[in-house]
A and B are shown apart, each in its own frame.
Chain A
């Protein structure tokens, strides 16, 4: 259980660090394709982390997990596509 609690804290710090990194990218750089890809990838990672470890779908219903993860693949993909227009 100590290990499990440690994991939750680690995920929280990682999610906050990614948020700050994304903000830095947005503030410093214009939305190029590369910036959009990085932001989309980090949004997907954040979504997957919450779905698997906070919602606990990693060990839960595989169909719900698929639907949730699919959502976090579709919209970040649209972030990448939006860089081209």
Chain B
């Protein structure tokens, strides 16, 4: 019984998925299974937001035409570029940990962290700018969806940036190497998921009119 449990854990299935989902049958799982449970939960949460967006747009098409024109598009573009660049830095950190180049890996993690902070600063400025224009959650159905979606995403970037600091601390204490980097990779895939959500949010709120 115990041996069976150990073999399930070692093949990455934890005994909760069908055998066909195991790493031997379906391919390597980047990071670890718990982070993917988290990622799929987050994707479900954002999927509900996206469905709410399309339902609201169906019922209130006019405010979804004027709404994006009221936003500071340049700030949305800047944040998209910042997040894409942060994903690149995270991918480079993974490349370097696999080469056992810890110093370079740490440098790229700091750069990703800096991008996360930049995103938060730009988004805070955007919320402030909106406030100066008199926009709030009650302005229209578009702004209700806009604040619900972007503030939620803002929180995700915030806590993932804190997670980068934790991973840097672990890296410095020798927890990761070329052979053992699942924790770092788990953070990397989570960060890419946050980037992916912004890739969908950006056209919905800033581009489509």
Chain A residues with CB under 8 A of B95: 1, 4-5, 8
CB distance from A58 to the nearest CB of B (A): 10
CB distance from A29 to the nearest CB of B (A): 9
Instruction: Please tell me if B91 contacts chain A, counting CB pairs below 8 Å.
Output: yes
CB distance from B18 to the nearest CB of A (A): 9
Instruction: Please tell me if A12 contacts chain B, counting CB pairs below 8 Å.
Output: yes
Q: CB-nearest residue of chain A relative to B94?
A: A56
Task: Assess the B77–A20 pair: CB atoms within 8 A.
Answer: yes
Task: Assess the A12–B88 pair: CB atoms within 8 A.
Answer: yes
Partner of B92, one of A5, A53, A56: A5
Known: A47-B196, A60-B29, A61-B29. Contact between A79 and B208, CB under 8 A? yes
Contact with A along B168-207 (1 / 0, CB 8 A): 0000000000000000000011001101100110111011
Q: Classify the secondary structure of B's interface with A.
A: helix
Q: Classify the secondary structure of A's interface with B.
A: helix
Partner of A54, one of B54, B58, B91, B99: B91
Q: CB-nearest residue of chain B relative to A14?
A: B84
CA distance A65 to B21 in the complex (A): 12
Task: Assess the A16–B36 pair: CB atoms within 8 A.
Answer: no
Task: Assess the A26–B68 pair: CB atoms within 8 A.
Answer: yes
Known: A60-B29, A71-B43. Contact between A85 and B58, CB under 8 A? yes
CA distance A78 to B50 in the complex (A): 9
Contact with B along A33-52 (1 / 0, CB 8 A): 00010010001001100110
Chain B residues with CB under 8 A of A27: 73
Chain A residues with CB under 8 A of B73: 23, 26-27
Task: Assess the B91–A8 pair: CB atoms within 8 A.
Answer: yes
- Within residues 62 to 111 of chain B, which ones have a CB less than 8 A from any CB in chain A? 65, 68, 73, 77, 80-81, 84-85, 87-88, 90-92, 94-95, 99
7 closest cross-chain pairs (CB), A and B: A26-B207, A12-B88, A61-B27, A55-B192, A54-B91, A61-B29, A19-B80
User: B: which residues have CB within 8 A of A?
Assistant: 20-21, 23, 26-30, 36, 40, 43, 47, 50, 54, 57-58, 61, 65, 68, 73, 77, 80-81, 84-85, 87-88, 90-92, 94-95, 99, 188-189, 192-193, 195-196, 199-200, 202-204, 206-209
21 of the cross-chain contacts (CB-CB < 8 Å) are A1-B95, A4-B95, A12-B88, A15-B84, A19-B84, A19-B202, A23-B207, A25-B207, A46-B199, A47-B196, A50-B87, A54-B192, A56-B30, A56-B91, A60-B27, A64-B36, A68-B196, A72-B200, A75-B200, A81-B54, A85-B58
